[in-house]
């Protein structure tokens, strides 16, 4: 079975074609600058790169170019589009209506449209990708896999906000959580590595990248997570503020005369480690700047480390006992220093990283000392494979 996985952003589209007989990635690619001058598609097949530079005014045109690249006689991997058995789409927000990956039907479509209010940039872009596939690949099933779905198992005590309950009842204001596909993948992969039934697995899943979130997984299910109504809450991120006193926001808005829309933009795009450091949103740049003595870069790194510790420790107390603390995402998988710094201080609870074992990037490794009370692990995430797996099982059912 061949499954195409599509992840549409507002001006970009990432794709991977999987042969699900062996879960091999046949080809993957990226379309950038959709609807902007200089649109281009870059497709990678092993070490070979194929680039198409042509105007693509919308997602339908971009998907058309993806299909052309897939069947291209020299650079493609399939002879005909009829070889594609199903398409799995990444959707960001399914709210409370969507609790699992779903074949697209009217109900799913309504939920996507309803929760566009909380994901105004993402849900419409994801929908454009879906509509392009429906148009150009008629008759092929489309499955939606939601970032929020994995977190629908959270109890009220972790998902409600401390505001008048009417805002939850009337406006659905609550914590939804994101990166669910990644946390779900990490949960299943960790259970497999530790040889445990996923239903018995308790972990702290730390997805640390440009966007970062931590999830407390209890009995294989999301119990609490650091992102909220939107992906702005929680850890300090590349350009997102993460947790902040709401009064700081209203103060800034009142005193600098900033509109709600502009403030949202500032908190999402001009804050986080970029805002604090004034250097970059990229952790490699920050580490380099801090080494050269840039104080603000060091503050940004220290804030990231402090907040990550706070969430890990808090979540461990929430779930009672943890089998592992698992690091994933660009930073979690690759930054040896960050993992070491984040875990420093946990020795008092008998949890200790092994500095030698920690010298790894990606893959799947246990990096704690043999006698550590809770294992510390590095597990590379694979959201696209998770989407392909869900799509396969739904289409087969």
Residue 331 interacts with ligand AMP (CB under 6 A): yes or no: yes
Closest CA to 353 of 370, 332, 330, 335: 370
In the set 18, 283, 304, 346, which binds ligand AMP (CB under 6 A)? 283
Q: Identify the residue whose tokens are 């201080």.
A: 345
Least Å distance, CB 238 to ligand AMP, is 6
Between residues 43 and 335, which has the closer beta carbon with respect to ligand AMP? 335
Please list, residue by residue across 70-103, b when 16 or more beta carbons sit within 10 angstroms of its beta carbon and e when fewer do: bbeeebbbbeeeebbbbbbbbbbbbbebbeebbe
Residue 295 interacts with ligand AMP (CB under 6 A): yes or no: no
**Could you tell me where the beta strands, DSSP code E, fall in 33-106?**
40-45, 48-53, 86-91, 102-103
The piece of 48-56, 96-104, 184-192, 327-335 that touches ligand AMP (CB under 6 A) is: 327-335
In the set 282, 294, 340, 354, which binds ligand AMP (CB under 6 A)? 282
Closest CA to 58 of 132, 168, 144: 132
Residue 335 interacts with ligand AMP (CB under 6 A): yes or no: yes
Name residues whose C-beta falls within 8 Å of residue 38's C-beta, 6 or more positions apart in sequence: 53
Strand pairing report for 40-45 and 203-208: unpaired
Residue 330 interacts with ligand AMP (CB under 6 A): yes or no: yes
Between residues 60 and 210, which has the closer beta carbon with respect to ligand AMP? 210
Contact 267, 302 (CB under 8 A): no
Between residues 275 and 329, which has the closer beta carbon with respect to ligand AMP? 329
Between residues 130 and 206, which has the closer beta carbon with respect to ligand AMP? 206
Residue 291 interacts with ligand AMP (CB under 6 A): yes or no: no
Strand pairing report for 48-53 and 40-45: antiparallel
Instruction: Kindly identify the residues of this chain, within the stretch 186-245, that bind ligand AMP according to CB under 6 A.
Output: 209-210, 238
The piece of 71-79, 125-133, 137-145, 279-287 that touches ligand AMP (CB under 6 A) is: 279-287
Per DSSP, the residues of 282-323 read -HHHHHHHHHTT-HHHHHHHHHHHHHHHHHHHHHHHHHS--S
In the set 334, 368, 382, 391, which binds ligand AMP (CB under 6 A)? 334
Q: Quick one: tokens of 315?
A: 């979540």
Least Å distance, CB 209 to ligand AMP, is 2
Range 339-344, long-range pairs (CB < 8 A, 24+ positions): 339/367, 339/376, 339/378, 341/305, 342/206, 342/305, 342/308, 342/309, 342/312, 343/376
Q: What angle do CA 333, 338, 344 make, to 5 degrees?
A: 120
Q: Quick one: tokens of 147?
A: 């970032």
Measured distance CA(72)–CA(67) in Å, rounded:
8
Residue 277 interacts with ligand AMP (CB under 6 A): yes or no: no
DSSP state of 275: H
Residue 83 interacts with ligand AMP (CB under 6 A): yes or no: no
Least Å distance, CB 228 to ligand AMP, is 19
Least Å distance, CB 210 to ligand AMP, is 3
302 among known catalytic residues? no
Between residues 108 and 290, which has the closer beta carbon with respect to ligand AMP? 290
Binding map of ligand AMP across residues 97-126, x = CB under 6 A, - = no contact: ------------------------------
Residue 329 interacts with ligand AMP (CB under 6 A): yes or no: yes
Between residues 59 and 339, which has the closer beta carbon with respect to ligand AMP? 339
Pick the catalytic residue from 55, 147, 197, 200: 147
The piece of 24-32, 89-97, 297-305, 324-332 that touches ligand AMP (CB under 6 A) is: 324-332
In the set 79, 135, 284, 359, which binds ligand AMP (CB under 6 A)? 284
Residue 376 interacts with ligand AMP (CB under 6 A): yes or no: no
The piece of 45-53, 135-143, 164-172, 326-334 that touches ligand AMP (CB under 6 A) is: 326-334
Least Å distance, CB 211 to ligand AMP, is 6
Q: What are phi and psi of 225, to 5 degrees?
A: -150, 155
Q: Identify the residue whose tokens are 């933009």.
A: 265
HSE-CB of 98 using CA atoms within 13 angstroms: 32
- Interface residues with ligand AMP (CB under 6 A) are 209-210, 238, 282-284, 329-331, 334-335
Catalytic sites, residue numbers: 147
């Amino acid at each position: 079975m061949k499954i195409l996985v599509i992840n549409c952003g507002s001006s970009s589209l990432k794709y991977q074609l999987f042969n699900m007989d062996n879960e091999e990635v046949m080809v993957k690619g990226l379309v950038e600058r959709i609807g902007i001058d200089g649109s281009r598609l870059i497709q990678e097949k092993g070490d070979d790169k194929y680039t198409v530079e042509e105007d693509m005014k919308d997602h339908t045109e971009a998907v058309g170019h993806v299909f052309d690249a897939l069947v291209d006689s020299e650079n493609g991997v399939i002879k005909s589009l009829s070889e594609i058995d199903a398409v799995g789409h990444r959707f960001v927000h399914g709210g409370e209506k969507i609790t699992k990956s779903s074949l697209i039907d009217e109900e799913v479509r309504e939920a996507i449209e309803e929760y566009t209010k909380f994901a105004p940039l993402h849900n419409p872009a994801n929908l454009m990708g879906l509509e392009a596939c429906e148009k150009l690949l008629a008759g092929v099933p489309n499955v939606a896999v939601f970032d929020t779905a994995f977190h629908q198992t959270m109890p009220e005590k972790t998902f409600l906000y401390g505001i008048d309950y009417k805002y939850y009842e009337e406006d659905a204001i609550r914590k939804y959580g994101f990166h669910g596909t990644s946390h779900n993948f990490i949960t299943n992969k960790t259970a497999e590595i530790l040889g445990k039934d996923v239903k018995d697995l308790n972990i702290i899943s730390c997805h640390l990248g440009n966007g970062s979130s931590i999830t407390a997984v209890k009995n294989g299910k999301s119990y609490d997570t650091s992102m909220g109504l939107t992906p702005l809450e929680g850890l300090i991120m590349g350009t997102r503020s993460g947790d902040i006193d709401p009064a700081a926001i209203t103060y800034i808005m009142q005193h600098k005369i900033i509109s709600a829309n502009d403030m949202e933009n500032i908190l999402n795009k001009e804050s986080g480690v970029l805002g604090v450091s004034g250097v970059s949103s990229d952790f490699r740049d920050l580490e380099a700047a801090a080494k050269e003595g840039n104080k603000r870069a060091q503050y940004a790194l220290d804030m990231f480390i402090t907040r990550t510790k706070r969430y890990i420790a808090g979540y461990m107390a929430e779930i009672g006992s943890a089998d592992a603390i698992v690091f994933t995402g660009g930073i979690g998988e690759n930054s040896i220093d960050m993992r070491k710094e984040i875990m420093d201080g946990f020795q008092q609870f008998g949890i200790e990283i092994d500095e030698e074992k920690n010298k790894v990037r990606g893959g799947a490794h246990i990096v704690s000392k043999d006698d550590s009370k809770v294992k510390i692990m590095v597990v590379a995430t694979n959201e696209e494979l998770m989407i392909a797996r869900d799509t396969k099982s739904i289409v087969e059912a």
